[in-house]
Structure 1
Amino acid sequence: MRRLKKFFTFLGIVFFILILFSIFKGFFSSKVAVPGEKIGVVKVEGVIKRSDTYVKLLDKLERNKEIKAIVLRVDSPGGVVGACQEIYDKVKEITKKKPIVVSMGSIAASGGLYISVPATKIVANPGTITGSIGVILQAYNVKELADKVGIKVITVKSGKFKDLLNPFREPDKGSLQILQALINDSYEQFVEAVAKGRKLPIEKVKKFADGRVFTGRQAKKLGLVDELGGFEKAVEIARKLSKSPSAKVFEAKPERTFLQKLLGEKTEGMLNNLSRVLNGEIKDFYLMYLLD
């Protein structure tokens, strides 16, 4: 018993030291913003599941008078339709006030392309993977497995189509028609966004908007990209567009929570996912602009 108490006391001391270390590290490593003209940078990385972080960062750069132009660094295979559309709207809004140059990284496909098209200019590496204009919705169906194991699920619903993607029953024709209509409408919205953002005829966009992917060089020939080059090229173009040749690069980063500072973002994300599972929040229903 004494050993157990000593062990927990030791853990408490270690945890307390970690907290102090995190606090002091954050205090001493905080950077003081240097005044002067700047090119703001926002990085969009990984699958886009939410828009709020990116929209807030873009909004701060929009309101900051020292920020003369913005470089949106996109390295994403896409994401949730609604989230991509909210970022698209914000980028489109800002371009009316200051230039936004998209710098495509290794991949800027599907939703990654969607959020890019309203920008003032788009720069991609020759080997960047982009395109994949389309919508996808996937769900698991475990009816056969449930039948073999002997699991029976009782569903009480208010309408015929309330459980469109119930994994414990085969989807009927009516359900699939409803889902296909969702896909088709979201696809049309994607095509319209590309056509408007890139100033291309809708019919031309539809000729290659079938889910196929392109290299940056191929995308330039199609009119999806303006220039070939990397991040520095995008910064150079941003400086020219804003007539601020000496502007310094300033990366806008989201404010990290205490847990993120202490445990790291991945650990906090894992704990949040565990909490969702324990609370029974395990079913996701997303329309995705995603390279799959």
Structure 2
Amino acid sequence: MTHAASLFLNRPLMLSSARSALLKRSFESGAGAEAFFGEREADAASYEVVQGVALIPVSGVLLPGRGWSWSGATYYQDVRKALSAALDDASVSRIALMVNSPGGTVSECFDTAEMIYQARGDKPIWAILNDAAYSAAYAIASAADFITVPQMGGTGSIGCVGMHVDITDALDKAGIKVTTFQYGVRKTDGYPTTPMSDPARERAQADIDEMGDFFVQTVARNRGMSADVVRNTQAGTFLGRHGVEIGLADQIATPEEAIAAFLKL
């Protein structure tokens, strides 16, 4: 298993349903996670300053860690580092999170969102959606003071998902027998060479439920919404004005319009 694959298999994710389906298909076809992202590229600059506004990119799939990259991915530690630097930068008066992402891992997501939320009041922070902020990306955007979304952009997917890959049938057909030695009855709960038992499935679902509820409570606090309203979205995604009507965003605007308005503050 590659390092990239280990970031996704048998761990909770906060991805839009469409991107989760693509990831599932990628693994089912035998492709590595690298095919999901593309080729490696050098790290991008942490942020750009335009007329006193620090533009911090939050794009592509969101992953834990920093220092290595596939195109189309952003790393939570890089976002936190950029935010910290922008808050300390005397040339920066406002901070814009430039968001276009289907979401990513649960790991490090809420720590990053909490850092943004706690920075409110230090400098104005806007989440300006280039297109969509779904799932983990919406958790990040919700922590900002203000959210703009294009007419056909999207918000939502407030939920979590987990995947377990069971390769036991494939091994049987290939004539391969795997013998597992373990200490602790739950040690192999998530192993692809071990069928998932009903108790293991229940424990996995309980973890997803707990994280999903935490996501709901976080968004409700960040956006000043009722937790019931957030929960009743049932992880749905909402185009532009529908997200504004629910309370998931504040204003319809293109990124250019949003930046122009932000500069006038």
TM-score grouping bracket, smaller chain normalisation: 0.7 to 0.9
Distance in 1 between the 2:51 and 2:137 partners? Answer: 28
Please give the root-mean-square deviation of Cα atoms over the aligned residues, in Å: 1.9
Aligned with 2:151: secondary structure? coil
Aligned residues: 208
Alignment-derived partner of residue 16 in structure 2: none
Alignment-derived partner of residue 221 in structure 1: 245
Q: Which structure is higher in RCO with an 8 Å CA cutoff and minimum separation 6? A: 1
How do 1:127-142 residues align onto structure 2 when only pairs under 5 Å count?
127-142=152-167
Contact kept, 8 Å, 1:54 with 1:87, in 2: the verdict is: yes
**What is the CA distance between 1:89 and its match in structure 2?**
1.5
> Where do 5+ consecutive residues of structure 1 fail to align?
1-29, 242-292
Check if 1:42 corresponds to 2:67: no
Using the size of structure 2 for normalisation, the TM-score is 0.74
Alignment-derived partner of residue 155 in structure 1: 180
Where has structure 1 moved over 6 Å in runs of 4 or more? none
**What is the CA distance between 1:191 and its match in structure 2?**
0.2
Using the size of structure 1 for normalisation, the TM-score is 0.68
Contact kept, 8 Å, 2:127 with 2:141, in 1: the verdict is: yes
Alignment-derived partner of residue 170 in structure 1: 195
Distance in 2 between the 1:139 and 1:174 partners? Answer: 14
**What is the CA distance between 1:37 and its match in structure 2?**
5.9
Check if 1:205 corresponds to 2:219: no
Which whole-Å deviations, capped at 9, do the CAs of 1:1-20 have from their partners, x for residues lacking one?
xxxxxxxxxxxxxxxxxxxx
Distance in 2 between the 1:236 and 1:194 partners? Answer: 27
> Where do 5+ consecutive residues of structure 2 fail to align?
1-44, 65-75
Evaluate the alpha carbon distance shift between residue 150 and residue 117 of structure 1 in structure 2; reply closer, same or farther with a 3 A threshold.
same
Alignment-derived partner of residue 257 in structure 2: 233
Alignment-derived partner of residue 105 in structure 1: 130
**What is the CA distance between 1:150 and its match in structure 2?**
1.6
Check if 1:188 corresponds to 2:213: yes
Distance in 1 between the 2:104 and 2:240 partners? Answer: 20
**Percent identity among equivalent residues?**
27
Check if 1:74 corresponds to 2:99: yes
Which whole-Å deviations, capped at 9, do the CAs of 1:231-281 have from their partners, x for residues lacking one?
12322333344xxxxxxxxxxxxxxxxxxxxxxxxxxxxxxxxxxxxxxxx
Distance in 1 between the 2:215 and 2:264 partners? Answer: 30
Out of 63, 82, 97, which is 1:57 matched to?
Answer: 82
AA of the residue aligned to 2:230: V
Aligned with 2:115: secondary structure? helix
Q: Comparing both structures, which one devotes a greater share of its residues to helix?
A: 1
Point out the structure with max Rg over C-alpha: 1
Contact kept, 8 Å, 2:240 with 2:252, in 1: the verdict is: yes
**What is the CA distance between 1:93 and its match in structure 2?**
2.1
Aligned with 1:144: secondary structure? helix
Aligned with 2:188: secondary structure? coil
Contact kept, 8 Å, 1:102 with 1:234, in 2: the verdict is: no
Contact kept, 8 Å, 1:135 with 1:187, in 2: the verdict is: yes
Which whole-Å deviations, capped at 9, do the CAs of 1:127-169 have from their partners, x for residues lacking one?
1122111101112211111111121222222211111111112
